[in-house]
Amino acid sequence: MAKELNIFDNVVCPFCGCLCDDIQITTEKNIVTKNQNGCAISQRKFLNHPHDRLSGPSIRKGSSMIATSLESTIKQVAQILQKSRRLLVYGLSSAENDAHREAYKIAELVGGVVDNTSSVCHGPSILGTQESGEAHGSLAEVKHRADFVLYWGANPQSAHPRHIRRYVRVPGEYIKDPKNQRVIYLIDIRKSESAQIVDQFIKIEPGSDLELLGTMRALLHGRRLDVESVAGLSLSAIDRLMTKMKNAKYGVLFYGLGLSQSKGKHRNVDAAIRLVQDLNSFTRWNMLPMRGHYNVAGANKTSTWQTGYPFAVDYCRGYPRYQPGEYTAVDLLLRKECDVFLNVAADPAAHFPRAALEHLKSIPIINLDPKQNMTSLIAAVNIPTAIAGIECDGAAVRMDGLPLYLKKVVEPPTGVFPDRVILKMIYDELRRLS
Ligand code: SF4
């Protein structure tokens, strides 16, 4: 029986890749009533946890969803998966690490493909890293040491609202006065909310990131270039920026989808990594991706632990194979290759391209999610799950690679279980059938 009033300290916010771990949550009668320290997004995530829930397991019959028991739903799901010729397991970035393990086991058992949402966000960053290595650091280092912070193609004020407040505009061990000892630059194609609060906003032409990065590297090495401007910036302005970056004691480049998903994709990230590597010949620089979903970094890590590859993994030959562009979810759907879609805590119907959705709508979708969403509307089977970090515990990985423990602060609705439990039930039933 839940106590009347509970206060939980140092709760980790399960929304974005910052995984802020200083949230204080108050619950009354098993409902979250107060979120202290969380940003506006975090407030909505915690305080709205009982809203828009999937009411119970259901299976589609024609245009209606028929309520069923969990046991019979699991049996039917296992039968659908067993008959599939090319299963695609997708999502995982808003589920905790133990749920990932069960999802990989299912994909392996039926010889399917398992992909996570990084294939449509920072997948190119991973490809760039695989090509050029990683000049990595931690958010703690940023707070304590960085005197030059450069955001590129990111809008932290909107997507990671506490990022600047917690790590950049805050005193650290060696940066006691961040306002005067640390500068914040932003390079982007538009004047976003973040542009209003940084020290220097640099607007560039859309699709010119790769050119600009190449120019920065050339100027850093003292090369003379026979052009007056690049990416809409004068050569002398780029040269001044390079001098400042070179003179920093400790610089950090945070990059978002504006770099990894714009023209050039992984080549942009590759060039940015090489720029940071070059800067390390003069001073200390590192770079970090601004990861979106709270555990997308964890999905890449667990996938690498279990399969050897971070995303886009195919088990059809009985062993894992990796081929972005081939085994990535959108590409499989565009080629109409998969015949069953097991969705774990994602909303592909809301985010995938229309052509991919055409095929998605034509195949059975097994949807595991706490809430109603666009995907639940077209799913063949819906199974509600507990919200990780609110209704069940687990582990997640912060954008800088630090694993953190998610707390359970309220009980899930009756008959609702964590993703890991549901996935294990499906796996066990599949084993029983095979
Ligand atoms: S910045 Fe992200 S992790 Fe931190 S409180 Fe806001 S939504 Fe949660």
We report the CATH number of the domain holding residue 82 as 3.40.50.1220
Measure CA 169 to chain center. 24
What CATH code is carried by the domain that includes residue 245? 3.40.228.10
Separation CA 383–CA 433 (nearest Å): 20
Q: Are residues 86 and 139 in the same domain?
A: no
Q: How many domains are contained in the chain?
A: 2
Q: Are residues 242 and 185 in the same domain?
A: yes
Q: State the DSSP string of 34-89.
A: EEES--HHHHHHHHTTTTTB--S-EEEETTEEEE--HHHHHHHHHHHHHH-SSEEE
For residue 149, report the distance from its CA to the centre of ligand 1, in Å: 20
pLDDT, averaged in runs of 10, over the chain (434 residues): 82 98 97 98 97 97 95 98 97 97 98 95 83 88 97 97 96 96 97 96 97 97 94 97 97 95 89 95 96 96 96 97 96 97 97 97 98 98 98 98 98 97 98 94
Decide which of 254, 289, 324 is a domain's last residue.
Answer: 289
Ligand 1 atom closest to 294 (CA):
3
What type of residue sits at position 209? D
Give the domain range for residue 368: 58-120+294-389+416-433
Q: Are residues 188 and 239 in the same domain?
A: yes
Decide which of 256, 289, 322 is a domain's last residue.
Answer: 289
84 within some domain: yes
Give yes or no for residue 13 CB within 6 A of ligand 1.
yes
Q: Are residues 183 and 211 in the same domain?
A: yes
For residue 219, report the distance from its CA to the centre of ligand 1, in Å: 37
Q: Are strands 148-152 and 250-255 parallel, antiparallel or unpaired?
A: parallel
Q: Are residues 220 and 312 in the same domain?
A: no
Closest residue by Cα to atom 5, ligand 1, is 38
Give yes or no for residue 269 CB within 6 A of ligand 1.
no
Q: Are residues 251 and 318 in the same domain?
A: no
pLDDT digits (tens, 9 = 90+) for 208-222: 999 999 999 999 999
For residue 83, report the distance from its CA to the centre of ligand 1, in Å: 41
Q: Are residues 334 and 385 in the same domain?
A: yes
For residue 186, report the distance from its CA to the centre of ligand 1, in Å: 20
Q: Are residues 160 and 258 in the same domain?
A: yes
Give yes or no for residue 406 CB within 6 A of ligand 1.
no
Q: Are residues 237 and 271 in the same domain?
A: yes
For residue 12, report the distance from its CA to the centre of ligand 1, in Å: 9
For residue 390, report the distance from its CA to the centre of ligand 1, in Å: 14
Separation CA 183–CA 149 (nearest Å): 6
Q: Are residues 62 and 165 in the same domain?
A: no
| Residues paired with residue 16 on neighbouring β-strands, in sequence order | 293
Give yes or no for residue 292 CB within 6 A of ligand 1.
no
Give yes or no for residue 19 CB within 6 A of ligand 1.
yes
Give yes or no for residue 20 CB within 6 A of ligand 1.
yes
Closest residue by Cα to atom 2, ligand 1, is 16
Q: Is 312 helix (H, G, I), strand (E, B) or coil?
A: coil
Q: Give the pLDDT of residue 121.
A: 83
Q: Are strands 58-61 and 381-384 parallel, antiparallel or unpaired?
A: antiparallel
Give yes or no for residue 160 CB within 6 A of ligand 1.
yes
The phi, psi pair for 41, rounded to 5°, reads: -65, -45
Q: Are residues 179 and 243 in the same domain?
A: yes
Q: Give the pLDDT of residue 3.
A: 59
pTM over 0.85? The answer is yes
Q: Are residues 129 and 106 in the same domain?
A: no
Closest residue by Cα to atom 4, ligand 1, is 20
For residue 94, report the distance from its CA to the centre of ligand 1, in Å: 14
Secondary element (H or E) of residue 17: none
Q: Is 257 helix (H, G, I), strand (E, B) or coil?
A: helix
Separation CA 123–CA 129 (nearest Å): 10
pLDDT digits (tens, 9 = 90+) for 176-213: 999 999 999 999 999 999 999 999 999 999 999 999 99
Report the b/e string of 214-245 with b at 16+ CB within 10 A: bbbbbbbeeeeeeeeebbebebeebeebbeeb
Burial label, 143 (beta-carbon count in 10 A; 0-12, 13-18, 19+): buried
With the most atoms of ligand 1 within 8 angstroms of its CB, the residue from 12, 18, 48, 398 to mutate is: 18
308 within some domain: yes
